[in-house]
Amino acid sequence: MYPVLFHLGSILIPSYGAMAAVGVLLALLLTQRTARSAGLDGRKAWNLCVIALFTALAGSRLLLLVFNWTDLRLHPMWILGLAMIHHPLLTGFGALAAVAAAILYGRRQRMPLWNTADALAAPLALGLAFEQVGALLAGSGYGTETAARWAVTFNQPLAALWSGAPLGVALHPVQAYAALAFLTLSIFLLFWLPVRRQQGDVFGLLLLGAGVAVFSTEFWRDPEGRGALLGGALDGPQIAAAALVVVGGLVLLERNGPKAKNEAAHG
């Protein structure tokens, strides 16, 4: 595939970073629409997304820096290559940091929790779809070997160097499977937002749908570096995906308490 999207003189523009940036931009633009649909202040929703994004990037890079501090002290120029490294652990840590930052900002700005989460659901799924397109181009999170006609083959040495993708081997385009799942989920959530039964339902469906998408597509991903549980039957991302499904189901439970009714009335 194409780990480098294009060149600006001697500067390489990585496909993963470029597609992730496009996904972030489109997600931010979509947030303005979903915020209005949920009755939120679009400016506050925009700021919350930007703060969460930078917190996720800083948190994941900081974790990578801590884990590789000894090597980086010996080779300080390697820090320029940290942006090329992608790993489920980094993604999970960055996501947790982003959620914490978003909750803190939302509470400070008095943004209703469930209403805000609903407004962010479809944009988040859209951003994940573009992130997976970037992963496909870069060779990150590559699939298992296959003889399927739609298989992809990586021939660029940078795909092996940056992402560890095997060269010259026909692989499942599992990143495309995930991208289609997240895009479909985003469209569904976008249309579900105006007709939701209660606040939190759209976000609950995001968690549930994302969990199913991740759990399913992991069966076609190469297990290298993803952890192994239950004798290799499941990997780390699948356990996290199962947790997302459980949490999503709990969020979807009907909330009949006075606090929920008051929030629904004033959301």
Mean pLDDT of 224-247: 80
| Two tokens, residue 161 | 């160097």
What pLDDT score was predicted for residue 262? 46
Note if the pTM is more than 0.85. Answer: no
CA dist., res. 257 & res. 239, Å (int): 31
Mean pLDDT of 62-76: 66
Mean pLDDT of 70-82: 57
Average pLDDT, the chain: 83
Mean pLDDT of 57-63: 75
CB pairs under 8 A, 24+ apart, for 26-29? 26/123, 26/126, 26/127, 26/130, 27/123, 27/124, 27/126, 27/127, 28/123
CA atoms within 13 A on the CB side of 219: 4
- Higher-pLDDT residue of 222, 224: 222
CA dist., res. 71 & res. 73, Å (int): 5
Comparing CA positions, the residue from 213, 144, 158 lying closest to residue 180 is: 213
Mean pLDDT of 92-121: 88
Question: Taking 50 as the threshold, does the pLDDT of residue 216 lie above it?
Answer: yes
Question: Taking 60 as the threshold, does the pLDDT of residue 242 lie above it?
Answer: yes
Amino acid type, 109: Q
- Higher-pLDDT residue of 177, 234: 177
- Which tens digit of pLDDT belongs to each residue from 127-168? 999 999 998 998 888 899 999 999 999 888 878 877 778 899
CB pairs under 8 A, 24+ apart, for 87-93? 87/225, 88/225, 88/226, 88/227, 88/236, 88/237, 88/240, 89/63, 89/236, 90/60, 90/63, 90/64, 91/60, 92/240, 93/59, 93/60, 93/63
What pLDDT score was predicted for residue 256? 61
What pLDDT score was predicted for residue 264? 47
- List the Cα angle 205/210/211 in 5-degree steps: 100
